[in-house]
Structure 1
């Protein structure tokens, strides 16, 4: 019983928080970030989303200035489709395996509703992007929006994925 009470008295509650910058629209971003979103929007407009009618585009900026894009690709045999962020990061990893990923811009739209608030990456995409951030030992800035409206920017994938899992656990 003493061990139980010892644990109670040593328990500590901790808060984790994420710092983000919120922009009113794309015009408030740097020219580089605006160009990244232009590419993400082009990618979004090419998405294959006949089932969800929810199109996502991602654009990744590499340290050599190259922009790599991806979009969501759905399949009637759900869930065998793939998210835009993972399409883009895996494309970047396969075509430019030694390049550092600096930023990723994400945008989403729907033919059913107006997407006017920021749409961040899903959990699987956060984990996949984090793997690249962890391995390159440099943060990846993440900037995301809907079709219109406010934009959120965080300085690192780790801030979007507290208690992340990485190769150091293996």
Structure 2
């Protein structure tokens, strides 16, 4: 038998005010995207903003459907749009803001498992880590310098 120890390193900022201007701009775009979410069932809104190496910023918001599996998360909406519109661009960083309309979240909310896997695919594709900043409605902001901190055993083509 062998035991494996997994460690994740995150940086927690007390608020958006602690971040450099370029990161605050990206988070602001994620917050604005969150307000465009279509979430009539869960009342849970998420916005994502992605900075590409060509300087473009792509945003996305969650889009629900009465047939729940048919909806799409903000992170995947943004990342797939970036991949379709700018297929050769690399993703430098992503900002995410999420909250419930019923009870605003003040703690950082990381991407769901399906979104983590989608982000992992792009890290693998570009052979470079993607910085991920995530937060609730307000409050602390968490930074993961790579998706690997959030999903250490991701599924990739090596297992196919």
The reply to whether TM is greater than 0.5 is yes
**1:34 aligned counterpart, secondary structure:** helix
Q: Give the 5 Å matches for 1:2-151.
A: 11-151=1-141
1:3-22 CA deviation, whole Å, 9 max, x = no partner? xxxxxxxx221210100100
Q: Distance in 1 between matches of 2:101 and 2:90?
A: 35
Partner of 1:7: none
1:33-91 CA deviation, whole Å, 9 max, x = no partner? 10101110110000000110000000001011110000000011222110000000000
Deviation above 6 Å: which 4+ runs of structure 1? none
Unpaired runs of at least 5, structure 1? 1-10
Q: Distance in 2 between matches of 1:165 and 1:76?
A: 29
Q: Distance in 1 between matches of 2:49 and 2:154?
A: 23
Aligned residue pairs, count: 160
**2:58 aligned counterpart, secondary structure:** strand
**1:118 aligned counterpart, secondary structure:** coil
Alignment partner for residue 161 of structure 1, among 138, 141, 151?
A: 151
Q: Distance in 2 between matches of 1:91 and 1:23?
A: 29
Indicate the RMSD between aligned Cα atoms, in angstroms: 0.7
Q: TM-score of the superposition, structure 1-length normalised?
A: 0.92
Larger radius of gyration: 1
**1:58 aligned counterpart, secondary structure:** strand
